[in-house]
């Protein structure tokens, strides 16, 4: 069973419906016990980093989410669920993340980029994802495929090797990571039509 972690933030039903469309069984869960029982775990999320990490802590879910990654079970973070995997976020302050992927979460800043001066923040809408190496979740897709984004902050990993997909919005940024059993996307596969469903199907098939 695929567990979709409900910590009070995120369009959980859309993610669940995405898995249902590809014939996968996914359950929205709220307890550490349910996360530990799952064969695969999805951490979605929209909104502020501070609130998200606070809700995870208040609901007692942090240890079970970290254990899910460390156990070797397939794990997928989506949007804010990607950012939460990192050490620290500078969204409206400085907040400690889960520390699973070394690196930070920073805001788009086009101050010294005249060519990007007209770009709006948040980065919202369809944009291309590019990759150079094979990733199990990208099987059946071609580099340059469009996905749907909504975010003002992006991840900056210490090790560039964890980046398996990049996007350009004013500058290149990490839009997808892969480290062992841990995958995460800045874009929303559940809102990215056929390409997004391919990613969900590939994850379900792991």
For the stretch 26-79, pLDDT in tens is 999 999 999 999 999 999 999 999 999 999 999 999 999 999 999 999 999 999
**What number of residues does the chain have?**
206
Distance CA 40, CA 33 (A): 13
The topology (CATH level 3) of 2-204 is: Rossmann fold (3.40.50)
Q: pLDDT, tens digit, for every residue of 138-187?
A: 999 999 999 999 999 999 999 999 999 999 999 999 999 999 999 999 99
pTM value? 0.97
Identify the bridge partners of residue 163 per DSSP, sorted by sequence position: 177
The residues assigned a catalytic role are 79, 188, 190
Query: Do 115 and 79 meet the contact criterion of CB atoms below 8 Å apart?
Result: no
Closest by Cα among 18, 2, 49, 73 to 152: 49
Residue 11 banded pLDDT, cuts 50, 70, 90: confident
Comparing CA positions, the residue from 91, 97, 18, 111 lying closest to residue 65 is: 97
Domain borders along the chain are 2-204
- Distance between CA 186 and CA 149 in Å, rounded? 7
């Amino acid at each position: 069973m695929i567990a979709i972690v409900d910590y009070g933030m995120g369009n959980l039903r859309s993610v669940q419906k995405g898995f249902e469309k590809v014939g996968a069984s996914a359950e929205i869960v709220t307890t550490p016990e349910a996360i530990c029982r799952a064969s695969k775990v999805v951490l979605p999320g929209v909104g502020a980093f501070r609130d998200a990490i606070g809700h995870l802590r208040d609901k007692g879910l942090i240890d079970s989410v970290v254990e899910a990654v460390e156990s070797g079970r397939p794990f997928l973070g989506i949007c804010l669920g990607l950012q939460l995997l990192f050490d620290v976020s500078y969204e409206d302050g400085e907040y400690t993340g889960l520390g699973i992927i070394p690196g930070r979460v920073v805001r788009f800043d086009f101050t010294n980029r005249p060519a990007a001066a007209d770009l709006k923040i948040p980065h919202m809408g369809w944009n291309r994802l590019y990759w150079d190496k094979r990733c199990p979740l990208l099987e059946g897709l071609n580099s340059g495929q469009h996905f749907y984004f909504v975010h003002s902050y992006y991840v900056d990993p210490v090790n560039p090797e964890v980046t398996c997909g990049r996007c350009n919005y004013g500058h290149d940024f990490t839009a997808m990571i892969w480290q062992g059993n841990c995958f995460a996307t800045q874009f929303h596969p559940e809102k990215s039509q056929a390409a997004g469903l391919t990613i969900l199907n590939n994850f379900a098939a792991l």
